[in-house]
Amino acid sequence: MAGASTGGKQLEQGAAALREGQVAVAFDLLAHAVADNAEDVDARALLGIVYSLKGFHDSALRSLRGAVEARPDDADLRFHLGMASERAGDPLAAAVAYHGALQRQSAHQDSRRRLAELDPKVLAMLRDTCGEVSPLAEPASPPANGVYPSAYWAAAFLFRDYHVDTGMGKSEAFFRRWAACILDHVAVGLVWALLAVALGVRIPAAIFVIGPALMNTRTSADVFVGCIYYVLFVGYEVVCLTTTGRTLGKRLLGLTVVSENGGPVDAGQALLRATIGRLLCDIPLYVGYLRVLWNEHQQGWHDRLGRTAVVRARDEG
């Protein structure tokens, strides 16, 4: 009985830590709760959510699938299995899980919202797999008092933005990202310079900063070369982030860019982040980048707009 009581207390504390965004603390508490009582479905499911947030996708899916098998009619469990599947890069499995949640609870608005945000091609495959899909709609507002049906699941729902654990302190994150950015500009700048020489035009004075580079231009050829740099850099970043999540600089500094929910970055997010997002960061004296130093989730304005986060790469431990 004492073990069960301890496990229950650790479950409550782990849920509270998850609600507050303390993923590492939640991981320790929930792992102990599962060790004390491996049959506790809530503990296993919440541990699965934490696994997913930390990028341990196989462990996350095992935990959440086991929880769904134990409670097949629980729509909340199926929703979180869908979120974990999205982070693991399996949108069809996510769609099946969200659809399953809606079959069991048609008013499950979080599942409805996530299903509506999936690629239409995935929804077409879902229809081929499951037949008719529930009509999609905008999510209803959360309860005014913030209370959901289960006390434990309230923790997960209140944390439903799924800000991923970056694995770094704010200062470390800022300086790693700053160094990676310099390396990326050097790499793209070298290609840019070679193109400028090949085209026989003068390179603008501020080679590594596109704003000043364009402002210091004197001829249409300078503007053209500056625009080439901008297009090169945006293209480089979008391709890198949508394929591996890592530019050359980020790879060398042990960083990866992920969606706020911990999944891979899509082309829309990467493009928005690299264009409008960076413009917002640049204009007010680069304050948008400095935001990493004080923001709770270490997000610059470009991260926030693109709904991305920069985390320590898993191969760094």
Dihedral-angle region of residue 286 (phi above 0 means left; psi in -120 to 50 means alpha; beta otherwise): left
pLDDT in tens, 114-171: 888 888 887 777 776 665 554 443 333 444 443 334 444 444 443 444 456 788 888 9
Query: Could you give the domains of the chain?
Result: 2-158 (1.25.40.10), 170-316 (no CATH)
Q: Are strands 255-259 and 308-312 parallel, antiparallel or unpaired?
A: antiparallel
Give the model's confidence band at 92: pLDDT under 50 very low, under 70 low, under 90 confident, else very high.
Answer: confident
For residues 197-216, average pLDDT: 54
Pick the residue with more confidence: 153 or 231?
Answer: 231
Kind plus residue range of the DSSP H or E element containing 308: strand 308-312
Q: What is the mean pLDDT of the chain?
A: 78
**Which is it for the CA torsion 71, 74, 78, 84, positive or negative?**
negative
In whole angstroms, give the CA distance from residue 276 to residue 272.
Answer: 6
Check residue 274 and give its pLDDT: 94
For residues 92-112, average pLDDT: 86
pTM of the model: 0.52
Query: Is the pLDDT reported for residue 219 higher than 80?
Result: no
Give the model's confidence band at 35: pLDDT under 50 very low, under 70 low, under 90 confident, else very high.
Answer: confident
pLDDT in tens, 175-198: 999 999 999 999 998 888 887 777
Q: 19-23, 55-59, 135-139, 239-243 — which one is most confidently predicted on average?
A: 239-243
Query: Is the pLDDT reported for residue 281 higher than 80?
Result: yes
Give the lowest-confidence range in 62-71, 231-240, 279-288.
279-288
Closest CA to 18 of 161, 114, 141, 146: 161
Pick the residue with more confidence: 283 or 231?
Answer: 231
pLDDT in tens, 64-83: 998 999 999 998 999 999 99
Check residue 138 and give its pLDDT: 38
Query: Is the pLDDT reported for residue 317 higher than 60?
Result: no
Give the model's confidence band at 243: pLDDT under 50 very low, under 70 low, under 90 confident, else very high.
Answer: very high
Task: Provide DSSP, 233-291.
Answer: HHHHHHHHHHHTS--HHHHHTTEEEEETTSSPPPHHHHHHIIIIIHHHHHTTTTHHHHG
Query: Is the pLDDT reported for residue 241 higher than 60?
Result: yes
Check residue 197 and give its pLDDT: 78
Local structure of residue 119 (DSSP, 8 states):
-
Query: Helices (DSSP H) in 108-219: which residue ranges?
Result: 109-117, 120-130, 151-158, 170-199, 210-215
In whole angstroms, give the CA distance from residue 149 to residue 152.
Answer: 9
For residues 195-204, average pLDDT: 70
What token pair was written down for 16?
A: 């509270």
